[in-house]
Amino acid sequence: MYDPKRIEQKWQGYWIDNRTNEPDLDGAERPFYNLMMFPYPSAEGLHVGNLYAFTGADFHGRYQRLRGHDVFQPIGFDAFGIHSENYALKVDVHPTKLIPSNIANFTRQLRGTGIMYDWSHTVDTTDPGYYRWTQWIFLELYDAGLAEKKEAPVNWCPSCKTVLANEQVIAGECERCYSQVEQRMLSQWFFKITDYAERLLENLDHIDWSDTTLTAQRNWIGRSEGALLRFPVARPKVADDRYEPAQLERERRMIEVFTTRPDTVYGATFMVLAPEHPLVDEITAPERADAVAAYRRETAALDLKERQKADDRGKSGVFTGAHATNPATGEEIPIFVADYVLMGYGTGAIMAVPAHDQRDFEFATEHGLEIRTVVAPTDEHAGEAADPELGAAFTAHTENERLVDSGEFSGLAAAEGGRRIVEWLAERRLAEPRVNYRLHDWCISRQRYWGPPIPIIYCDDCGTVPVPREDLPVELPYVEDFKPGDDGIAPLAKDRTFYEVDCPSCGAAARRETDVSDTFLDSSWYFLRYPSVGDDERPFGPARTERWLPVDTYIGGEEHAVLHLLYSRFITMVLHDLGHLAFEEPYDRFRKHGLLIRDGAKMSKSRGNVVIPDEYVERFGADTFRAYLMFLGPYDEGGDFRGEAIMGPHRFLNRAFDAVEAAVESGVTGFPDPGVERALHATIKQVTEDFARLSFNTVIAALMELLNAIRAGGRTPTVDEVRPLAIMLGPIAPHLAEEMWELLGGEPSLFDHAEWPTWDEAKLVTDTVEVPVQVNGKLRATIRAARGATEDVVKAAALADEGVQRHLEGGELVKTIHVPDRLLNLVVK
């Protein structure tokens, strides 16, 4: 039995006094940057979810340390943002008061966990010394033409009263408050992340990340190959005679559409514009104006989620009275406005091919429009052609389908036909190949208080003027009433002393931007700051950046697969292109961890199944709690937190400590028992390999097995047997391991002086092996044979076995399978 409280205090004190966890940032020879996602400092304090994430990362960091690396493992606080601000509103405490006390509380809790943080290099995103560089990054993007203010349909959260990035809208709801998100046309600051879509996608092939995270990013970027097609809008018939044909052609409006199926253009029998499409007013015939306006009002009133409920509402839409020319057939086809076409994807307009697109098919059926088949099914699919009776479009698009009713392209395979059609239309500038992305530009304006002000000044004469670099930071002023308003006007717009400013360019009275930037901009570069904390001259110093970055291992939650992880890749790539960084990918290796659940459900306050770590730490100590968290399931899958199961790791650590005490007391050295020695080498091998692949639950199981072998039959272990055990326990139970190391006569700290144990393959093999003998694939006996025994020898021994003989009776031995030292299988007929 050991006293966790005493030794944990002892070693935590030792680590601080001796700066054990602070690597030499300027001189480290084997630098290893071990990063974990910095927390948002909630008022509730540290919860098990945080601790689960950090503990796994700490296992990894301490393992790398014991493997001889100089590990830099910092922590900080992502303290700006809507989450913090909403909480401040709820409890009616100003964020400038609330957040510092939350950070202080978090810091106190984290210091008690024994995690190997370098407390001399922490980051707080609300510190002007930090966000002045966040603003600097904004200006760098602005100067590079990658930040622009534009009118665009944006997501508006009516409860948070701010716009949200696309990534922050989850199934039509605000990711923070779960309100239904609305669409609004607003002028906002955007970062042109879409310019980087291709590179963000391509680089995914070259970085060592969890597969699921890579897949999530690929899906989010959503690349589709196809073509941009132009459909000339037909003038109303009555007006035609006022124009010369040539002039008519020149002045014709084009409706651009994106399609992945240019091969079906001969089957485009109508067009559809999204209700928000800018051309709608212009093309709508006067007699249809009222109906179209009514429809647009109706759809505008729907929030995102209602709009997506296609099943309930069917395919609604109205005819505009206008027509466009199908560039392939030359026929005039009607133009509709319908909300099944989204302004946010492609061009906000489509060519509708009801025969080969299910949505268009439904719309055509509902509105009585022509359905024209232009892709013929092969024999295999005969009978699957678009058919109103069947209620389905024919959408197969493999090399087997061929084009029909498609002019000179009839008879071609669909894919080939599509390419040829695009080439043909391209000659008349009516088509061009196009790659389209689902990814949108990153909207970074927030009409909120708790964030870094966007460093822009608007001047009547000079226009948009960036704040000069030397005037940074633009400090967030204290605004007593920081509540957001319904009107989209930011809280900072209430503070005249803030927004009234002289134009830095001409000196005339001007006005500051009063929106703040998205929290995800704060967190998009924090890992660049850590090594250079304290440097007030620049965001990150070249020497330290060169030594420590990119990050060696980043461990974090899958919930940021497309948010933080995509944004920080983008910002890193931009900083690389602007010459500030030598690398363009921030994290060499990313591993996601799983989610802790309890009673089969995600932990949440509303369910009342949240685990408070403090009680467990108080009762069993931080070491036991760490071991339990990592033992309850595979780290990348998470697991079910069952409080009573903590007894396993608790007993294990106590037994391990007792073993060390017994060994020291006996003073016996060496490896008197070959079985124990073999177990030791096998364990070192497995533990070393499993630590490397972050398989912590099997590491702990292997060490438990080793301890069982060492203490089998109540035997007294030797000093040499338990020393490697103590070292391998280092990443798991650091305080206890230090105590054991000291007991064994090692010089503290274990993490500075212990060498990771090595194994000898020769020690793993035994002279004899147990060979399972199967008859027809079923186990009938195991025989003992010399290692490397030949098939003849093993077979002879097997045939002599009574149990084997019984199963061979009455049959003829037709085949023998022998895997040396592993198995013998006798096949009888």
Closest contact distance (angstroms) between CB of 642 and RNA is: 6
Residues 731-770 that bind RNA (CB under 7 A): 770
Which CB sits closer to RNA, 544 or 711? 711
| Residues in region 712-731 near RNA by CB under 7 A | 713-714
Q: Which region, judged by CB under 7 A, interacts with RNA, from 20-28, 59-67, 188-196, 819-827?
A: 819-827
Which of the residues 309 through 338 are near RNA (CB under 7 A)? Answer: 310, 313, 315-316
Tokens representing 675 are: 């079985």
Element (H, E) at 328: none
Name the one range near RNA by CB under 7 A: 35-43, 154-162, 566-574, 702-710: 702-710
Closest contact distance (angstroms) between CB of 652 and RNA is 6
Residue from the set 220, 449, 482, 540 that interacts with RNA by CB under 7 A: 220
Interactions with RNA, residue window 431-470 (CB under 7 A)? 436, 438
Helices then strands, counting H and E runs in the chain, come out as 30, 35
Closest CA to 448 of 189, 82, 78, 77: 82
Site for RNA, residues 638 to 657, rule: CB under 7 A:
639-640, 642, 644-645, 647-652, 654-655
Q: Which of 708, 716, 766, 768 binds RNA (CB under 7 A)?
A: 708
To the nearest whole angstrom, how small is the minimum distance from the Cβ of residue 533 to RNA? 33
Stretch that binds RNA, among 212-220, 285-293, 398-406, 532-540 (CB under 7 A): 212-220
- Spatial separation of the C-alpha atoms in residues 751 and 741, rounded to whole Å: 10
- The CB-of-440 to RNA minimum distance in angstroms stands at 9
Report, in Å, the least distance between residue 208 CB and RNA. Answer: 16
Among 47, 121, 261, 592, binds RNA (CB under 7 A): 261
Query: Could you tell me which of 439, 435, 49 has the C-alpha nearest to residue 216?
Result: 439
Residue 250 interacts with RNA (CB under 7 A): yes or no: no
Residue 651 Cβ vs RNA, minimum distance, rounded to whole Å: 5
Nearer to RNA, 413 or 597 (CB): 597
Site for RNA in 116-175 (CB under 7 A): 166, 169-171
Q: Which two tokens stand for residue 174?
A: 């605000």
Contact set for RNA, span 538-597 (CB under 7 A): 558, 562
Query: What is the distance between the alpha carbons of residues 588 and 686, in angstroms, rounded to a whole number?
Result: 25
The binding track of 267-306 with respect to RNA, each residue x by CB under 7 A or -, is -------x--------------------------------
Distance from C-alpha of 396 to C-alpha of 374, rounded to nearest angstrom = 12
Q: Closest separation between CB of residue 792 and RNA, Å? A: 18
The stretches of 561-621 forming alpha helices (DSSP H) are 564-577, 613-620
343 vs 492 by CB, closer to RNA: 343
* Integer Cα distance of 265 and 327 in angstroms: 8
Our CB check for RNA shows the closer of 579 and 714 to be: 714
Secondary structure (H, E, C), 589-643: EEEEECEEEECCEECCCCCCCCCCHHHHHHHHCHHHHHHHHHHCCCCCCEEECCH
Stretch of 55-63, 138-146, 218-226, 503-511 contacting RNA, by CB under 7 A: 218-226
Does position 701 interact with RNA (CB under 7 A)? The reply is yes
Cα dihedral across residues 93, 94, 97, 100: positive or negative: positive
Cβ of residue 647: shortest distance to RNA, in angstroms?
5
DSSP three-state, residue 799:
helix
Q: Check residue 107 for interaction with RNA (CB under 7 A).
A: no
In which element (H, E) is residue 377 found? none
Residue number with CB closer to RNA (39 or 226): 226
User: What residues between 764 and 783 interact with RNA by CB under 7 A?
Assistant: 770, 772, 774, 776-780, 782
Listed ranges 50-58, 415-423, 704-712, 735-743: which one lies at the site for RNA (CB under 7 A) = 704-712
**Strand pairing partners for 517?**
445
Nearer to RNA, 62 or 598 (CB): 598
Q: Is 211 in the site for RNA (CB under 7 A)?
A: yes
Helix segments in 33-154, DSSP class H = 48-66, 82-91, 95-111, 128-143
Beta carbons of 659 and 681 less than 8 angstroms apart: no
Residue of the chain from 222, 278, 433, 477 that contacts RNA (CB under 7 A): 222
User: What is the closest distance, in whole angstroms, from the C-beta atom of residue 289 to RNA in the complex?
Assistant: 23
Task: Give the separation between CA 82 and CA 474, rounded to whole angstroms.
Answer: 19
**357 to 416, contacts with RNA by CB under 7 A?**
357, 359
DSSP state for residue 242 in the 8-state scheme = G
**23 to 82, contacts with RNA by CB under 7 A?**
none
Beta 553-557 vs 589-593: how paired, if at all?
Answer: parallel
CB of 690 vs RNA, minimal distance in Å: 8
**Do the Cβ atoms of 121 and 163 come closer than 8 Å?**
no
Residue with tokens 């060592």, as numbered in its chain: 208
**Phi, psi (deg, nearest 5) at residue 109:** -65, -45
Residue 666 found at the interface with RNA (CB under 7 A): no
Are 588 and 207 contacting, i.e. CB atoms less than 8 angstroms apart? Answer: yes
Number of residues engaging RNA in binding (CB under 7 A): 89
Q: Does 206 bind RNA (CB under 7 A)?
A: no
**Near RNA by CB under 7 A: residue from 232, 275, 348, 491:** 348
DSSP secondary structure, 518-557, as one string = -HHHHTTSHHHHGGGTT--SSSS-HHHHHHH-SBSEEEEE
> Cβ 752 to RNA, closest distance in Å?
30
Q: Min. distance of Cβ 430 from RNA in angstroms?
A: 16
Residue type at position 450:
W
Contact positions with RNA (CB under 7 A) in 607-636: 631-634
CA nearest neighbour of 103 among 13, 38, 188: 38
The CA distance from 287 to 292, in Å, is 10
The answer to whether 41 and 103 have CB atoms below 8 angstroms apart is yes
In whole angstroms, how close is the CB of 561 to RNA at the nearest point? 7
Q: Does 339 bind RNA (CB under 7 A)?
A: yes
State which of residues 219, 464, 666, 758 lies at the interface with RNA (CB under 7 A): 219
| Residue 133, burial from CB neighbour count under 10 angstroms (0-12, 13-18, 19+) | buried
Structure tokens at 370: 């022509």
E strand or H helix that includes residue 226: strand 223-234
Taking the C-alpha atoms of residue 757 and residue 66, their distance in angstroms, rounded to an integer, is: 10
What track of x and - describes contact with RNA for positions 506 through 525 (by CB under 7 A)? --------------------
Q: Does position 810 bind RNA by CB under 7 A?
A: no
CB of 234 vs RNA, minimal distance in Å: 21
Which residues on adjacent β-strands are paired with residue 98?
Answer: none
- State the nearest-atom distance from the C-beta of 111 to RNA, in Å: 29
Count CB-CB contacts under 10 A for residue 634. 15
Q: Choose the stretch contacting RNA; rule: CB under 7 A; options: 28-36, 221-229, 742-750, 792-800.
A: 221-229
Check the CA dihedral 553-556-562-565 and report its sign: negative
The position carrying tokens 């910002």 is 571
